[in-house]
Chains A and B, each alone.
Chain A
Amino acid sequence: MNSLWLSHFTAASCLGHGLEPTHDALRQQRGGLAPCAFETVTDLATYVGEVSGLDESPLPASLAEYECRNNRLAYLGLRQDGFNAAVGAAAARFGRRRVGVLLGTSTSGILQTEQAYRRRDPVTGALPDDFHYRTTQNTYSVADFVRSAFNLEGPAVVVSTACSSSAKVFAAAARMIAAGLIDAAIVGGVDSLCLTTLYGFNSLELLSSEPCRPYDADRNGLSIGEAAAFILLERPADSLDADAVLLLGAGESSDAHHMSSPHPEGLGAHIAMAAALKAAALQPADIDYINLHGTATPSNDAAEGRAVAALFGDTVPCSSTKGATGHTLGAAGGMEAVISALALQRGFLPGGINTRCVAPDIPIHYLTANRQASPSRVLSNSFGFGGTNCSLILGRAA
């Protein structure tokens, strides 16, 4: 595929609001997970990666119909690191119809619905009048919100493939740009804490009772996080700074195996990584760091580790940053693309935190400490329920 330029990007997670606090936390190997005290949840012994300040940050009146935690998180993200201005400039340069909005989410504004169900009319069972389905719960809500916030008129869509959602948007946007439908795209993802995922992962016995420990021999489940990650993707400028970050390739596949367990041999993951390498016209040896999906569930890390070992052996440094951010689900692909971009621009490999004893049965080169390095190309994995896989390859311009 033709490379695309991540001309601007930003992220908000439990590590902080924007690139600088995110980078600082990674450099200091400081995680953002804390014991779960989210909303009315008092009965789950788990840790979550909650974004601070959302409860006190209502949307502006002009966007009030979109009011929900997920869109508040999106709005927070859009106002960081000059992203707002960058989109405005892109819309002015290319035209409002030539800037697409392709975002990933898994649960959208479902928290709004969960809360509305508690306020059903005791007699009729009706939902309250102030519940707005289209602009909150509907899976498209966050893309509609961003398109409206920027007054854009181009193609827009939400990709909702569980935890690969905001990786797959890069591939979809690249197709739209290659097809000539748009010149630039806002990609990324927004997913926010809600009861469905907390109690849902609990029902599958996949929640860790401690901050999650990816690729640990004694890993015992994931920690749920939330995040907004936004990237402005466009064709490379004629002259790029050496530290400009490019999307070099994307690979997608399906497990065709099980709804909530990965293919045990990591076959789908292997296909996605190989497809990304092919799209980027690269060999495994060209990859300097892999940001693993690494959820810290026993089955994910075993399957992904097998696939990584089969393709890359045990020489390429790898880590999962979910020990720091938690698993931000539909935002994970975008969040980890931003972390990968930081690694490329600022010259370091983030060690995975919380992992005490790397699983001896997974023969990959797992980093638990940060490493000063000058990576040129990194691969980022995102896999999800329903057996959906996406791998991205990002690289420096020079």
Chain B
Amino acid sequence: MSEVVKLTAYLDGIGLIGPGLDDWPAARPILAGTVPYETRPLTVPAPQALPPAERRRTGLAIKVALAVGQEACAHGQLDARQLAAVFSSSGADNDNCDALCKVLASEDRHISPTRFHNSVHNAPAGYWGIASGAMTPATVLCAHDGSFGAGLLEAMAQVAVEGDGTLLITYDMPYPEPMHAKRPLPAAFGIALALMPTQSARSLARIEVSLADAEPDKLAEPELEALRRAIPCARGLPLLQAVARGTSEQVILDYLVPLRLAVAVAPCR
């Protein structure tokens, strides 16, 4: 098959959290280049949609995932219960992973039940279901540094094949030492995209994704580029930059060597 397959969806909502990028409204002018980027520690809201008992059990990755997912739904005025969900992350609750490994390496291997159920890669998806009430399909992916691309490709395939509005939620968080030395992720980060099969009054842009060979686009702002390189889900930033600029353009996103994703972005308004 020589024809390039293109998957199309309409981007109706965006959620974003990262250091110096508090949310999409704050990040948009920064990515567009009209407001300077200033790095600072990120603040992540507690997931108020969860019952208090569940909220207390959530670590940083879960908080980030829920925050960006909720922001994207609110932005697009979408009901999460009507959307399929695709979660993608290189790790999950990395603090929890470290804590479990420390206990399991000790004399007393008794671990807490909460630590165990939070250790699954799909813990954020589980909490998302509890918080949103969505009984729709939710998948949870990992492709190491290609996790954003893998998530975007699966979400676009869901929209194209199933015809379902699909919420892509990508997130990462740092490991504490000693894992940090082996997998240095500098900060937590999250990007959520609400991808719809048809255009609505709230559609921000039409996006078209295909497999490609070209080198991934870089960001001109050095500190943002450093985030893009260092954090798997931040490799989606060139797509958000194109949306922030409001111009029609094609960006190349990282995926798996030698494959990349070409994303054509056309503003809807």
A158→B109 contact, CB < 8 A? no
**Set of chain A residues within 8 Å of B142, measured between Cβ atoms:** 138-140, 157-158, 160
B120→A162 contact, CB < 8 A? yes
Could you say which of A154, A171, A204, A388 contacts B126, with CB atoms under 8 Å apart? Answer: A388
Q: Contacts A117-B101, A199-B104 given; 18 further ones with Cβ under 8 A? A: A127-B181, A138-B91, A140-B143, A140-B144, A140-B147, A159-B140, A175-B158, A176-B157, A178-B161, A181-B5, A181-B153, A195-B104, A196-B104, A200-B115, A254-B134, A255-B135, A386-B122, A386-B127
A126→B117 contact, CB < 8 A? no
Interface centre among A138, A147, A174 (most CB of B within 10 A): A138
A127-B179, A138-B144, A172-B154 as given contacts; A271 in contact with B122, CB under 8 Å: no
**Set of chain A residues within 8 Å of B161, measured between Cβ atoms:** 174-175, 178-179
Interface centre among B57, B116, B136, B153 (most CB of A within 10 A): B116
Bound CA–CA A320/B247 (angstroms): 55
User: What would be 27 A-B contacts, judged by CB atoms less than 8 Å apart?
Assistant: A118-B105, A127-B178, A133-B182, A138-B144, A138-B183, A140-B90, A140-B147, A144-B144, A154-B259, A157-B141, A157-B143, A161-B121, A162-B122, A176-B157, A179-B160, A196-B104, A196-B111, A196-B119, A200-B115, A204-B116, A253-B137, A259-B127, A260-B113, A385-B126, A386-B126, A387-B129, A387-B130
Within 8 A of A (CB), among B91-141: 91-92, 97, 100-102, 104-105, 109-113, 115-123, 125-127, 129-130, 132-141
A134→B144 contact, CB < 8 A? yes
Could you say which of B85, B102, B123, B258 contacts A259, with CB atoms under 8 Å apart? Answer: B123
A161→B104 contact, CB < 8 A? no
A199→B138 contact, CB < 8 A? no
Bound CA–CA A154/B115 (angstroms): 35
The answer to whether A239 has its CB under 8 Å from any CB of chain B is: no
Bound CA–CA A143/B110 (angstroms): 31
B259→A114 contact, CB < 8 A? no
B111→A203 contact, CB < 8 A? yes
The answer to whether A336 has its CB under 8 Å from any CB of chain B is: no
The answer to whether A216 has its CB under 8 Å from any CB of chain B is: no
User: Digit string of B145-179 for contact with A (CB within 8 Å is 1, else 0)?
Assistant: 01100100110111011100000000000000111
A161-B125, A176-B157 as given contacts; A196 in contact with B130, CB under 8 Å: no
Chain A interface (Cβ within 8 Å of chain B)? 43, 97-98, 106, 110, 113-114, 117-118, 120, 125-127, 131, 133-134, 138-140, 143-144, 147, 153-162, 168, 171-172, 174-176, 178-181, 183, 195-196, 199-201, 203-204, 252-260, 267-268, 271, 275, 384-388
A204→B140 contact, CB < 8 A? no
A120-B105, A386-B123, A386-B129 as given contacts; A203 in contact with B113, CB under 8 Å: yes
A196→B100 contact, CB < 8 A? yes
**Set of chain A residues within 8 Å of B141, measured between Cβ atoms:** 157-160
A127-B182, A156-B256, A175-B157 as given contacts; A256 in contact with B104, CB under 8 Å: no
B125→A388 contact, CB < 8 A? yes
Q: How many B residues touch A, CB cutoff 8 Å?
A: 69
A157-B154, A181-B5, A196-B104 as given contacts; A259 in contact with B117, CB under 8 Å: yes
**Set of chain A residues within 8 Å of B230, measured between Cβ atoms:** none
Instruction: Determine the residue in chain A with the shortest Cβ distance to B261.
Output: A155
Instruction: Determine the residue in chain B with the shortest Cβ distance to A115.
Output: B105
Instruction: Determine the residue in chain B with the shortest Cβ distance to A143.
Output: B143
**Set of chain B residues within 8 Å of A43, measured between Cβ atoms:** 109
A385→B117 contact, CB < 8 A? yes
Interface centre among A140, A204, A255, A267 (most CB of B within 10 A): A140
B135→A139 contact, CB < 8 A? no
The answer to whether B78 has its CB under 8 Å from any CB of chain A is: no
B178→A259 contact, CB < 8 A? no
**Set of chain B residues within 8 Å of A159, measured between Cβ atoms:** 139-141
A199→B110 contact, CB < 8 A? yes
